[in-house]
Chain A
Amino acid sequence: MEQFFYTIIYWVKKIIVKTKYYIFLILKKITIKKRKLEINGEFIKICKIFTGGGNLVSTQCKIVKRNLIVNVSEELDHHNAEIIRDKIDKLIIKHNIKCVIFDFSNTKFMDSSGIGVIMGRYKNIKNMGGNVVVTNVNTRMDRIFKLSGLYRIINSYDSVDQALKNISNIS
């Protein structure tokens, strides 16, 4: 008799937990939809990756459909590269990113560590059928990219919009 009683309590608890979970899922879907409606029908998520350093502009990421746009900070050296590469990798997996777009419009300094970050992301995402592109590359960066042969595998565009257009044409 006692056994039966405990079994019933167990199942009631289980049902309550499951119901709470499903309500949570439903609410979450509603919230996501709201965000979609709020931002012109496109799901855009923005997150900042702080690399420290006082007044340096931090790296910002935006997700448009399955593209991750990385607005790289003012300086991309070994120190900053180490910080942003892990965060980018996590975002790629979490949001099932197909293409990473590096936007260098705010970047005033970059050394060969920047090449390492780009190549590393390319190697990772290529295995998942993805792609990496660079945009808003200034003359110096262009020189460094050419030196390293980066353009043999990665395309460069003048603007993020142009990159997005070309990506959707290819895929």
Chain B
Amino acid sequence: MKYENEMKIEFSSKSQNESFARVVIASFVAQLDPTLEELSDIKTAVSEAVTNAIIHGYEEYDGQVYMYCKITDNKVYIEIKDFGKGIGDIDKAREPLFTSKPELERSGMGFTVMETFMDEVEVESKVGVGSKIIMRKKLESLEKL
């Protein structure tokens, strides 16, 4: 019997909510009893995606950030969506160390961190419409059960 659960939240694009988003995803994924490392991986990736939506998507003006998470057995599927600026050149944005905001001291490592800590990262974006980051992770610790 497949185990399934899902949740959806939206919050305003304030940097204070980065911490909130991490807590939400961690408490939702916790029901799968992941290892601390798997949980930290997911928290870090979500933190990067949410931060990107806030600083790049909305460029710190007001907007809503949407987080959706679906659990299927030991697989975690996360979507982080915004209706902000959109990404012009997605390949360039995903390049390690590339940042369109060096003045904000951004390291350009956001996508690299997401790709390192999650199994798959997809980016859908349209300039002037918004962006959607899709991340998937399989919790290996539960494979053996």
Contacts and interface: CB of A to CB of B under 8 A. Distances in A.
Interface of A: 52-53, 75, 77-79, 81-82, 85, 109, 111-113, 115-117, 119-120, 140, 143-144, 147-149
A119 B109 CA distance: 12
Interface stretch (B15-23, B85-93, B122-130): B15-23
B27 to A, nearest CB: 15
Given A78-B55, A140-B40, A148-B97, A111 B105 contact: no
Contact of A78 (B54, B109, B113): B54
B15 A112 contact: no
B48 A112 contact: yes
Interface residues of B, number: 25
B18 A77 contact: yes
Contacts of B37: 140
Nearest to A119: B107
A30 B32 CA distance: 62
A160 to B, nearest CB: 24
B47 interface: yes
19 contacts: A53-B19, A77-B15, A77-B18, A77-B22, A77-B51, A78-B15, A78-B55, A79-B16, A109-B43, A109-B44, A111-B47, A113-B106, A115-B109, A140-B40, A140-B44, A147-B109, A147-B112, A148-B107, A149-B97
A79 B15 CA distance: 5
Given A53-B19, A112-B107, 17 more contacts: A77-B47, A77-B51, A78-B51, A79-B15, A82-B15, A111-B113, A112-B106, A115-B109, A116-B104, A116-B105, A116-B107, A140-B37, A144-B113, A147-B113, A148-B109, A148-B112, A149-B97
A143 B51 CA distance: 20
Contact of A115 (B19, B44, B107): B107
Name the 10 nearest CB pairs between A and B, nearest first.
A79-B15, A112-B109, A116-B105, A115-B107, A120-B105, A111-B47, A78-B51, A116-B107, A112-B107, A77-B18
Nearest to B43: A109
Contacts of B12: none
A129 B105 CA distance: 20
